[in-house]
Amino acid sequence: MRVAMIGTGYVGLVSGACFADFGHEVVCVDKDEAKIRQLEAGKMPIYEPGLDALVASNVAAGRLSFTTDGGAALANAEIVFIAVGTPSRRGDGYADLSYVYAAAREIAEAITGYTVIVTKSTVPVGTGDEVERIIRETRPDADFAVVSNPEFLREGAAIGDFKRPDRIVIGTDNLQASAKMQELYRPLYLNQAPILFTSRRSAELTKYAANAFLASKIAFINEIADLCEHVGAHVQEVARGIGLDNRVSPKFLNAGPGYGGSCFPKDTLALIKTAQDYGSPLRIIEAVSAVNDFRKRAMGRKVIAACGGSVRGKLIALLGLAFKPNTDDMRAAPSIDIVTALQDGGARVRAYDPAAMEQSRLLLTDVEYADDPYACIEGADALVIVTEWNAFRALDLDRVWMALNEKVVVDLRNVYRSDEMEGRGFVYASVGRPTHLNPVFERDGESGGLDTAWDETLFVVPPQAAE
């Protein structure tokens, strides 16, 4: 099939490359000339494992191309996807649909023959109605159908998610459009990926509801983690205990510094605003958003508490900046709030991330960047693990010990075991796990001999910090 993809951001580029890999003829359209030149040169504008090879192979096969001139691509397409950004609108949190509506007008002016127009962008309920109205008003003679087909791609695992999806949601009551969409997704249907046909509005709401539910699970387990720290329970044991219930599942029950990225923060906020507009407020989701905002700020205070209550004049090493591993996405990343809190407390910050440092430089000031994890840690007064990249899961702990000035490790992703870290002599703080009495000693680099003095400080956010 002939497919046009408007937008070469995360969703558009991954979806376009995957459709091309299914054998369809795909043209990706973007007004950003520099980005199109970059793509034509084989350089990816985003970090996503495997995407560069997937794009290169399909460009070489002649199934995938890029252009700034959408006229011919749209005129020839059987299916046109709108995959442009819908960021939170500045000032009020509503989804900014200006790019979606601009794409609708461009499509209306170019299409010829029957065309299925698909909103792949995450859009509030009723957006498809407005897209249809715009196209109908611009081209009364146009023969088309507007379909909702939300994406459910995880950054860092997007290609696998696209090719092996949990489900494909298609919102339309148009039989001709349904047949076209079934043909488009035929390779996945043959692999028994479930295709769920719904009304257009139901499909639009499904995307927001899914993200809000997952965000709620994260906020929930983070609050349980706080309680665990106060009562002496272990959040990973609690999460496993509830996650083994197949009504709950263990996914998204990993306690940490809060959610970030391009989807959950903006989508929960947009859903809240939509619900308020319809007079049906979502109190639970409102609380989830507020809890997560507080969570990210509290992680900075957690680091300061682990450093004895002050970081003034200290050098803090941060491993991980992206909101999650296997991406360079810094949007709403917890690291931003943590760095800000540490700098406000008078600390110097040095950071390392395998992919996100270029994006970080656009958002964070007065941060020193290192070339590798050990260069980041060298001479620091504390190490903070912010993002659980695989490269940080098996650090040489003897080398970490020697590199740190003060032996403080704050593990915001629970990558390491408390008994192992404390047994090695680190002052170790994690999330939602009991903090044992930490030995204060001089460690013998050869034998690991210990002094017997003890520090009874518990590394939890003090209650007054929430006031």
Same domain flag for 7 and 39: yes
Same domain flag for 186 and 251: no
Closest CA to 356 of 391, 395, 325: 325
Q: Are 433 and 236 in contact (CB under 8 A)?
A: yes
CATH number of the domain enclosing 266: 3.40.50.720
389 residue type, one letter: W
pLDDT of residue 434: 84
Residue 148's domain spans which residues? 2-198
pLDDT of residue 53: 97
Closest CA to 410 of 461, 464, 453: 461
Same domain flag for 344 and 460: yes
Main-chain phi, psi angles of 29, to 5 degrees: -115, 135
Classified as helix, coil or strand, 75 is helix
Same domain flag for 254 and 118: no
Same domain flag for 265 and 405: yes
pLDDT of residue 302: 97
Same domain flag for 148 and 208: no
Same domain flag for 226 and 371: yes
Same domain flag for 283 and 139: no
Q: Are 27 and 5 in contact (CB under 8 A)?
A: yes
C-alpha dihedral, 295 to 324 to 338 to 316, nearest 10°: 140
Same domain flag for 93 and 232: no
Main-chain phi, psi angles of 169, to 5 degrees: -105, 125
Buried b (16+ CB within 10 A) or exposed e, 270-285: bbbbbbeeeeeebeeb
Same domain flag for 361 and 277: yes
Which one of 155, 179, 198 terminates a domain?
Answer: 198
Same domain flag for 93 and 237: no
pLDDT of residue 462: 37
What total number of domains does the chain contain? 2
Same domain flag for 211 and 110: no
pLDDT of residue 93: 86
Q: Which residues contact 310 (CB under 8 A, 6 or more apart)?
A: 304, 345, 346
pLDDT of residue 436: 59
The CA distance from 401 to 408, in Å, is: 9
The CA distance from 349 to 340, in Å, is: 10
> Chunked in runs of 10, what are the mean pLDDT values of the chain (467 residues)?
97 98 98 96 95 98 96 95 93 92 97 97 97 97 97 95 96 97 91 91 98 98 97 97 96 97 95 96 98 97 97 98 96 97 98 97 97 98 98 96 97 96 96 66 36 34 36
Which one of 198, 213, 237 terminates a domain?
Answer: 198
The catalytic site residues sit at: 263
The CA distance from 360 to 353, in Å, is: 9
Which one of 167, 198, 229 terminates a domain?
Answer: 198
